[in-house]
Amino acid sequence: MKRMERRKQNRIKTEKFNIEYRFVADDFMTPVSVINVSETGICFLRQAPINKNDQIELMFPFKGGKIYLRAQVARVDGREVGIMFTDTTEKIEKFCLSFNKEYRLVRSENTLQNNDEGSSQNNSDIDDFLSDV
């Protein structure tokens, strides 16, 4: 049977985009690698136990400053964890603006480095942006 697509937002696949999260009632930050990003959440690869409906806080280490967003675990499928942002619209918009600005720069820098090393990796999603919330 074919799996039904339930997501309402387009996702942007990410490479080498690392963030940290903590459980709301805890101070210990856990590093994770983000697989994709949308206006409503992210998907990352877990390295520690986490459960559906857990309340967490994400920390995005942008060059312009760290951004913290509250979120809820929407699904856990093996190592993949789907996260839904639950913070204010203003904070989510700030995240989207920072992501659009800084991730594009990071991807451009990686493309230049790869081209210098002789790689011809296709970066067709570099022009993808998170739309306004």
Whether 3 maps to a domain, the answer reads no
- Which CATH number goes with the domain that contains 18? 2.40.10.220
pLDDT at 102 (0 to 100): 86
Domain count, the chain: 1
Residue 46 structural domain: 12-117
**Could you tell me the pTM of the whole model?**
0.77
DSSP readout, 42-65?
EEEE-SS---TT-EEEEEEEETTE
Judging by beta carbons within 10 Å of its beta carbon (0-12, 13-18, 19+), is residue 59 exposed, middle or buried? Answer: middle
Q: Give tens-digit pLDDT for 111-120.
A: 665 565 554 4
Residue-wise pLDDT for 13-66, tens only, equals: 888 789 999 999 899 999 999 999 999 999 999 999 999 999 999 999 998 899
Give the per-residue pLDDT at 88.
Answer: 97
Q: What pLDDT, on the 0 to 100 scale, is given for residue 3?
A: 45
Q: Which two tokens stand for residue 102?
A: 């800084």
